[in-house]
Amino acid sequence: MRYLIIVLSTLLLSPALFALDIPRLMLANVYSNNKASDIDISHYWVSEKYDGVRAYWDGTRLLSRQGNEYHAPAWFVAGFPKSPLDGELWLARGQFDRLSGIVRKQQPVDEEWRLVRYMVFDMPQLAGTFDQRLNEMRLLADMPDWLIIIKQWRVSDEAELLRQLDAFVKAKAEGLMLHHGDSLYSAKRSNDLLKLKPSFDSEGFVLSYEEGKGKFVGMMGALWVEALITNDDGLAEKQKFKIGSGFTVAERKNPPPIGSEITFQYSGLTSKGKPRFVRYWRRRQ
């Protein structure tokens, strides 16, 4: 019995059993207005940020960032290329929890995996710039319908980028990604890859209203809010700013009362420390 325990202990503690093929992936910095002077938007490709799980195709298996294998059905990966791919397993916008439950099962369920898509955004082992890798991805042929080379496009400036972010977020997307066209695939975090989403939230107090215009005539157009905002140096300052998006028609007709506390979302800070791309989320009770 003692010998059996020693053998089992040796096996359980063996490094080989814990060895994982951890993929070396390109990681994104957070895009913010504080970096705007260092970033020429026109050099970047823009794409939707999918709320799925990162999945690296090594030519035979789908691996997580930590090197764990996603046990996809054999038919799901049967037509995948031999070249490594970087992408996300994805169901639909707002379906992350459901997706996670599907792809993390040790025994895959065919009916569930038929809903999953593999959204590919890079080919890590190809030499050359992202412009060149993107061209190669677009040339992939005879791929399964559920392997999708994601749409990538250009924008001219930050104003256009933020308008598109607003539209995508309103459509329940998580945000946008920016990939520098001249960048090589590098397994580190850098400005070659940037993520932009309204990922911060905070609370503030309603100070006043602005009258709506156009289709919002006769309703609230925007709120003026005062909130304590923490800047990049970790210092908290009171800021006054306007929130004009994120409201339903019902909320515009019956806005949060003056003096009430609300929660809002925003994406980074302006050079003056004010929240950037602010959206109303909900009233705090």
Residue of 122, 197, 131 lying closest to 164 (CA atoms): 197
Instruction: Answer whether residue 258 shows pLDDT above 60.
Output: yes
> For the chain, what percent of residues have pLDDT higher than 90?
62
Do 220 and 191 belong to one domain? no
| pLDDT band, residue 13 (cuts 50/70/90) | very low
Assess if residue 165 is contained within a domain.
yes
Amino acid letter at 241? Answer: F
Do 45 and 178 belong to one domain? yes
Residues 6+ apart with CB under 8 A from 94: 51, 172
Q: Which of 161, 196, 231 is the last residue of a domain?
A: 196
Q: How far is CA 265 from the centre of its chain?
A: 15
Do 206 and 189 belong to one domain? no
Assess if residue 242 is contained within a domain.
yes
- The range of the structural domain enclosing residue 71 comes to 27-196
Instruction: Answer whether residue 14 shows pLDDT above 70.
Output: no
| pLDDT band, residue 271 (cuts 50/70/90) | low
List Cα–Cα distances, 94 to 48, 97, 156, 269, in angstroms. Answer: 13, 8, 29, 26
Q: Which of 196, 217, 235 is the last residue of a domain?
A: 196
Assess if residue 15 is contained within a domain.
no
Do 38 and 128 belong to one domain? yes
Taking the C-alpha atoms of residue 89 and residue 240, their distance in angstroms, rounded to an integer, is 40
Instruction: Answer whether residue 18 shows pLDDT above 70.
Output: no
Residue of 34, 26, 168, 11 lying closest to 85 (CA atoms): 26
SS3 242: strand
| pLDDT band, residue 273 (cuts 50/70/90) | confident
| pLDDT band, residue 59 (cuts 50/70/90) | very high
**What total of structural domains would you count in the chain?**
2
- Residue 199 has a pLDDT of 61
Assess if residue 174 is contained within a domain.
yes
Do 154 and 35 belong to one domain? yes
242 is catalytic: no
Average predicted confidence (pLDDT) for the chain:
87
- Residue 143 has a pLDDT of 95
CB 267 within 8 A of CB 198: yes
Do 138 and 255 belong to one domain? no
Strand 27-30 and strand 189-196: the pairing is parallel
- Residue 269 has a pLDDT of 76
- What the block records as the tokens of 77 is 């990966």
Do 80 and 186 belong to one domain? yes
Do 105 and 240 belong to one domain? no
Residue of 27, 23, 25, 24 lying closest to 190 (CA atoms): 27
- Residue 34 has a pLDDT of 43
| CA angle (110 as vertex; 106, 111 as ends), nearest 5 | 125
- Residue 11 has a pLDDT of 42
- Residue 162 has a pLDDT of 87
Tens digits of per-residue pLDDT, 109-119?
999 999 999 99
- Residue 232 has a pLDDT of 64
Tens digits of per-residue pLDDT, 199-254?
677 889 999 999 999 999 999 999 999 998 877 666 788 999 999 998 999 999 99
- Residue 3 has a pLDDT of 43
**Residue located via tokens 């909320």:** 251
Backbone angles phi, psi at 253, to 5 degrees: -75, -30
Q: Which of 196, 227, 259 is the last residue of a domain?
A: 196
Do 152 and 33 belong to one domain? yes
Do 254 and 192 belong to one domain? no
Do 155 and 213 belong to one domain? no
CATH of the domain at 103: 3.30.470.30
Do 278 and 232 belong to one domain? yes
The residues pairing with 119 across neighbouring beta strands, listed in sequence order, are 88, 148
CATH of the domain at 251: 2.40.50.140
Assess if residue 234 is contained within a domain.
yes
Which of 68-72, 254-258, 272-276 is least confident? 272-276
Assess if residue 12 is contained within a domain.
no
Assess if residue 20 is contained within a domain.
no
223 burial via Cβ count (<10 Å: 0-12, 13-18, 19+): buried
Residues 151-179 have a mean pLDDT of 90
Assess if residue 6 is contained within a domain.
no
User: Which of the pair, 78 or 17, is modelled with greater confidence?
Assistant: 78
SS3 96: helix
Q: 49, 151, 195, 242: which one is catalytic?
A: 49
